[in-house]
Structure formats: C-alpha cells, structure tokens
Amino acid sequence: MTRAEQRRQTRERLLSSALEVFERRGYAESSLEEIAERAGYTRKAVYSNFSGKGELLLEIMERRFRSHVDRIESIVSREATAERQAIDIGAVFSEYLTQERDWEMLFHEFCSVASRDEEIGARFRSCFRDLKQALVRLVEEETKARGVELTLPAERLVLGISALFSGVSLEKLIDPVETDDALFGEVLGLVVASAVRTGS
C-alpha cells in the first residue's frame, strides 16, 4: 500500500475501534489507550491521526450525519405525498432509535460535553448546522418540485423537526416502552401537513 492508503486504513481502524469503545463505555469513561489497543496500534498512532477523543467522535458523528441525509434523500426521491414521505422518514428514524440505543446515549452525552468545551463545541455546532442546511436544501428542492409553499421558512421547519427528533430520542432513552416507534413518524406527518400551504 502507498503511505496515503496506509494512513487511510489506520484512520478507519481507529474510528471503528473508537466507536465500539465509546458505545460500550461512554465518552467520558473511554481512554485513548483502549481505543488504540483495540485497533492494534499505540497511543502515538492515535495522536498521529487525531487530536484526541473529541476529534475521533466528531468525525464519527459527521459520517453518521451524512448517512442520515442520504437516507432522507432516498425517501424524498420516491413518488408519494409529502405527508407519506414524512411518515416514512419518521418510521426509519424511529426504528433507528430502537436499534441504536447505545449511539443515542453517546450522542446525548457528547452534546453535554460540547456545550462545556468551546473548541469541541464550535466544531460540533458547525457539523450540526451543516446537517440542517443540507436538509433545508432538500426541503426547498422538494417544495419547488411539488409546486407548493410552506407556511414558515424552510430553516424554521427543519430546526423544529430537529428539535422534535432530539426530544423523541431523549424520551426513548428515558422510557423506551412508553415511547413507541410510531410516535416520531406520526407527529412528523402532522407537522409537515400543517407546514404545507394547500391553497391561497
């Protein structure tokens, strides 16, 4: 392998190892030593590729956010009503909440870390805003293609949906039995239906 390929492989193995350790132990209790050892490297290899735990988790989150956008794009590209698409998107992410409980706990923990650490927080906010901006573009493209208008700016709609998802995911962590998988999709469908202007 070339040096660039070796470096890419090292980074991928460290990211995979970091995700396993973070989800099992939580961010605060994870150590770079364990992450490096699980990947088959030394602590020095971690610092040769990442500045520390924060950058490792930030890169993992950036990739996860990109995969979310890709999944939403695949649903939006289908022929269906806006309400049906919203319900389908909700179903996908409700299932995600059930299957990815360890990740959701890690995400909420890191939100707290980012709110206290200015350097990590700045990059985390930038990443989160990029995700929402990508969703805003999707909403604007879809409303234009359908020839409909929104009752509020696309940015506000996306922000509200993001807050809804964060709230439902937290409810799911607190009480997974009471917070069933259909809730997010049902409420999202109502939000989208009310946000689409059907007539003048």
- Domain residue spans in the chain? 1-50, 53-197
Handedness of CA 175, 176, 179, 183 (dihedral sign): positive
Handedness of CA 66, 12, 106, 100 (dihedral sign): positive
Would you write out the chain's pLDDT as a tens digit for each of its 200 residues? 798 899 999 999 999 999 999 999 999 999 999 999 999 999 999 999 999 999 999 999 888 888 888 888 887 777 777 777 777 777 777 777 777 888 888 989 989 988 998 888 998 999 889 889 988 988 898 888 888 899 999 999 999 999 998 998 899 889 988 988 788 888 888 888 899 886 65
**In this structure, CATH architecture of domain 1-50:** Orthogonal Bundle (1.10)
List phi, psi (to 5°) of 40: 90, 25
Rounded Cα distance between 183 and 87, Å, is: 10
CATH 2.40.50.140 is the classification of domain 53-197: no
Rounded Cα distance between 104 and 108, Å, is: 6
Whether the Cβ atoms of residue 86 and residue 75 lie closer than 8 Å to each other:
no
